[in-house]
Structure 1
Amino acid sequence: MTGRAPDRCGSVLDLIGGTPMVRIGVPMSGPHPGFWAKLEGVAPGGMKARAARAMLAGARARGELRPGGTVIESTSGTLGLGLAFVGAAWGHPVVVVADAELDELTRALLAAHGVRVELVREPHPVGGWQRARLERVRELMAELPGAYWPDQYGNPDNVVGYRELGHELLDQLPDVEVVVCGVGTGGHSAGIAQVLRRRRPRVRLVGVDAAGSAVFGDPAVPRLMRGLGSSIHPGNVDYDAFDEVHWLGAAESAAACLRLASGAFVTGGWSTGAVALVASWCARELGSDRVAAVFPDGPHRYWRTIYDAEFRAGLPDPVSEPSEVDGVPDEVDSATSWRRSRKVVDPCAHRAAGSAGCPVCEVRP
């Protein structure tokens, strides 16, 4: 389905997709010609309901997920809500493995939707919270025979679920020249890229990562931002599809969210702020508003971080321009580090020849 959602729905699944696009003209780090934001955060179940539906549908079709079967997944929260949304429609209990940094609102919502929440209490010394969660998933799979693990980080159905998003985006903004996406599991950027290659191959794809995330090669360090970047190496990232990548710190993202909130009455979490800032920069560089940005979430989970003045007081002053880099540094500051590279490489491209000794390749159990 493309375009707007139907006015009357026989199932909540009919509400997936069809999200609106709005023009953003509020100055960010400086004035810009404007850009267009795809508001995925307004959809019931959130953006990741797209991936949840595709992954569960694929598993059901292949017989990997039986009727009434339990779904177990590791998530920082957003995919858990998407799985709860789809699981409720199709009769699948959901177990979410999260960690001690899961915000209270999402934890309460997951419980209200009937999700069993398993919390890991300590990050893994190498792979951080993500590896700790994945190891608990392995344990639960052994304890619950017949359960299904979607594995959002490496499941190609995750990518398939976002092809609709790519078609919607091009239908809403046919003359788009640049698309800006946050990168975590790599699913929505890869799904959009597949559509761009077929319909508009000259459109530039710009990835947005968190400083201190391992996705594009930064040394993995503890990060304030949740839902953007990764401490492990996701299998779904389509590195060849990106024309450039930007890394941002928490200070830049939080400042962008506040500017959106005050100037556009549209805002969100860490990923939304980071993507908005980069999209405004791309529009200024292009000299046009033919830039589309995917806003993956809303502000509600971040009331004790981004929208808490006391929390923000602990952040440094945001950087107003990206520094141009070729490669990644040995050390990074995850609080403030806006960098840009037009050379995009897979940090684990060597894994085809064996990954022994690589701390990024080895963190997935």
Structure 2
Amino acid sequence: MTTAFLPALAPNRELLALIGRTPLARITTALPRRHPGFWAKLEGHAVGGMKARAAVSMLLGAEERGELLPGAPVVESTSGTLGIGLAFAGQALGHPVVLVGDTELEPSMRRLLRSHGARLELVDTPAAQGGWQGARLEKLHDLLGRLPGAYWPDQYNNPDNTAGYASLAAELATQLDHLDILVCSVGTGGHSAGIAGPLRRHWPALRLIAVDSTGSTIFGQAAAPRLMRGLGSSIHPRNVAHRVFDEVHWIGPAEAVDTCRRLARGNFVSGGWSTGAVARVAAWAAASHPGAAVATVFPDGPHRYLGSVYDDDFTAAHHLDPRLAAGEPVDIPHPRAAHAGGWARCTTVTDPSAGHPGGQP
């Protein structure tokens, strides 16, 4: 990439009026067991995607503190979804955006990011420590040294990421009469931390369930190669508020694929890996707690995943047979306990970087 010249952008702040106000859908199809139904906030309908909320919050915060100067470039690591949000925020606020992805990033997502004006740099080898995330961060730091005045939002540790989801919490509080259980996917930790506090102030007895990916280290499991993108992590983001979760579930790719396809066939609304993971757990929660009001957030729609989640050749190549997907979680006694299969659950939540149990705030 030529770093000497990044064209300036004229801000288009009228775009900011398009953020949020996404619909709420009632999900009743069996996933795979029958359940009374749960609510799903369809963030895939948002202009710029769910993470436009966080992206705008991070850039506005940096502008206000003088860390991001007018027209200065923004550089960030992404597996795709935040990249779309940053491309939106860059256009709205007048900042060229440089994104560091990896060669696992779908060709359709690469084209989409570039079509929205983002510069895309790809790494082709996972790091020995930190996997693809580690490799992207190494490349990111190299770019920061070659782009004078560039700003790195650092989505994993930036509290403005979390603050950006206050609007999502406010919308849920308005759209729902009551809420007993909230199910959240966890990657950077931004949206779960950002909505948990406001919603618990609204409904103090709210129970919060985290959904992670098998092979992710966020809640103490050993690192392993991860096929799913958008949830899970090979590092320990500081934005993850371990203390607010009452339990954690780890979902595998076969379970996510089965759920996404069932959603598409039976409820029309669906999405990708994170959507499949949270929907399966939300259906389980609704069935396990009769009479409870359960809600979750579907972070995106299905279009990015037509060549993976919804492609039979892809699932066959990766040995993902939806017919063999786990229909119930296996309970494990501690987050560090090894488990077999594609779905595990633990009611003890710990912060592996601090070594202390989580709990209600």
Q: Taking structure 1 as the reference length, what is the TM-score of the superposition?
A: 0.91
Residue 351 of structure 2 aligns to a residue whose secondary structure is coil
Question: For residues 75 and 232 of structure 1, what CA distance do their matches in structure 2 show?
Answer: 14
Pick from 333, 340, 353: which aligns with 1:348?
353
Partner residue, 2:286: 283
Find out whether 1:311 has 2:304 as its counterpart.
Answer: no
Alpha-carbon displacement from aligned partner over 1:118-158 (angstroms, at most 9, x marks no partner): 00110001210001101111111110110000000000000
Question: For residues 10 and 78 of structure 1, what CA distance do their matches in structure 2 show?
Answer: 21
Aligned partners of 2:13 and 2:93 also within 8 Å: no
Whichever residue aligns with residue 87 of structure 1, its letter is G
Question: For residues 241 and 160 of structure 1, what CA distance do their matches in structure 2 show?
Answer: 16
Report the Cα offset of residue 311 of structure 1.
1.9
Residue 350 of structure 2 aligns to a residue whose secondary structure is coil
Question: For residues 71 and 111 of structure 2, what CA distance do their matches in structure 1 show?
Answer: 24
Aligned partners of 1:71 and 1:94 also within 8 Å: yes
Alignment: residue pair count? 341
Aligned partners of 2:99 and 2:121 also within 8 Å: yes
Residue 18 of structure 1 aligns to a residue whose secondary structure is coil
Question: For residues 287 and 196 of structure 1, what CA distance do their matches in structure 2 show?
Answer: 21
Question: For residues 285 and 15 of structure 1, what CA distance do their matches in structure 2 show?
Answer: 37
Aligned partners of 1:227 and 1:270 also within 8 Å: yes
Partner residue, 2:331: 324
Report the Cα offset of residue 288 of structure 1.
2.8
Question: For residues 31 and 300 of structure 1, what CA distance do their matches in structure 2 show?
Answer: 26
Whichever residue aligns with residue 321 of structure 1, its letter is E
Alpha-carbon displacement from aligned partner over 1:142-177 (angstroms, at most 9, x marks no partner): 101100000000000000001111121121113110
Residue 110 of structure 2 aligns to a residue whose secondary structure is helix
- Aligned pair in 2 of structure 1 residues 289, 15: CA closer, same or farther (>3 Å)? farther
Find out whether 1:175 has 2:178 as its counterpart.
Answer: yes
Q: Taking structure 2 as the reference length, what is the TM-score of the superposition?
A: 0.92
> After the TM superposition, which of the residue ranges 54-63 and 195-204 deviates more from structure 2?
195-204
What is the percentage of aligned positions where both structures have the same residue?
Answer: 57
Partner residue, 1:64: 67
Question: For residues 268 and 112 of structure 1, what CA distance do their matches in structure 2 show?
Answer: 22
Alpha-carbon displacement from aligned partner over 1:217-252 (angstroms, at most 9, x marks no partner): 111111110111001101100011001110010000
Aligned partners of 2:178 and 2:203 also within 8 Å: no
Partner residue, 1:87: 90
Aligned partners of 1:34 and 1:288 also within 8 Å: no
Find out whether 1:34 has 2:1 as its counterpart.
Answer: no
Report the Cα offset of residue 329 of structure 1.
4.9
Report the Cα offset of residue 328 of structure 1.
3.4
Partner residue, 1:120: 123
Question: For residues 200 and 179 of structure 1, what CA distance do their matches in structure 2 show?
Answer: 11
Residue 55 of structure 1 aligns to a residue whose secondary structure is helix
Question: For residues 269 and 59 of structure 1, what CA distance do their matches in structure 2 show?
Answer: 31
Runs of 5+ consecutive residues of structure 2 not aligned to the other structure? 1-11, 357-361
Residue 12 of structure 1 aligns to a residue whose secondary structure is helix
Pick from 209, 223, 228: which aligns with 1:225?
228
> After the TM superposition, which of the residue ranges 222-231 and 287-296 deviates more from structure 2?
287-296
Aligned partners of 1:49 and 1:86 also within 8 Å: yes
Partner residue, 2:111: 108
Alpha-carbon displacement from aligned partner over 1:54-76 (angstroms, at most 9, x marks no partner): 00000000010111010000010
Partner residue, 2:239: 236
Aligned partners of 2:52 and 2:88 also within 8 Å: yes
Aligned Cα RMSD in Å?
1.5
Partner residue, 1:189: 192
Pick from 159, 162, 166: which aligns with 1:163?
166
